[in-house]
Amino acid sequence: MITDIVFDFGNVLYQLDIDGCHNRLASLCGLDKDEFLKRMHPIIARYEKAEIGDENFIWHLQQFNQTLNPREFVEAWNSMLIGIDKKIPQFLSQLSVRYNIYLLSNINGLHARHVDRYLQRVLQEPQFLTQHFKQYFYSHIIHLRKPDAETYAYVSGKISARHHSSVLFIDDNRENIKAAIQYGWRGQWHHPKDDIIDCIEKYLSNH
């Protein structure tokens, strides 16, 4: 029986343009996207665990093209973040009547602040995270990221689930879902183009 739902944030609740962002950054760096990702993925992973800070992350990007203003890299990086359906807060509030709701996201300092500003400006909900989730787990705060097994163990230790199998984890990344299932959670892959509001009852009935 599912008692707890752990949502990924990006491309589940909050729309992203990952490919567009990576293409824009690669162009600024004078690389094709595949080469950009090959060289920057380890840096991004460290950044998402706050092993490096905002300035150090931008510094790594600047090494590819030192003629650009750092702000151009910041704007390209934040262009990944599109927005959130205004029906999501009500959706989460209704769902929380039946389940314990949590958030687990690989994120970073620049994106987290951008999202906070967006939620305040567009949804006018300055307390969105604490209002709609029993707890939220941002990778750069807990210094752990998906799909590392210790991430799921850490979250399990913090939430109120009696059993691993009572947790349903919803993510758009199949690797993250596979790791969650291996840990003992139930996992549900979500297609980024689907509306989570339309899919949730199907997901719940599947488990």
Give how far Cα 97 sits from Cα of 3, 12, 56, 197, Å.
11, 20, 42, 15
The confidence score (pLDDT) of residue 163 equals 85
Evaluate if residue 178 carries a pLDDT over 80: yes
Take residue 13 and report the two structure tokens written for it: 């609740």
The DSSP secondary structure of 36-101, one letter per residue, reads HHHHHHHHHHHHHTTSS-HHHHHHHHHTT-TTS-HHHHHHHHHTTEEEE-TTHHHHHHHHTTTSEE
The model scores a pTM over 0.85? yes
The confidence score (pLDDT) of residue 145 equals 98
Q: What is the mean pLDDT of residues 64-70?
A: 93
Reported confidence tier of residue 126, pLDDT bands at 50, 70, 90: confident
**125 and 89 in contact (C-beta within 8 Å)?**
yes
Q: What is the mean pLDDT of residues 117-125?
A: 92
The confidence score (pLDDT) of residue 162 equals 74
Mean pLDDT score across all residues of the chain:
96
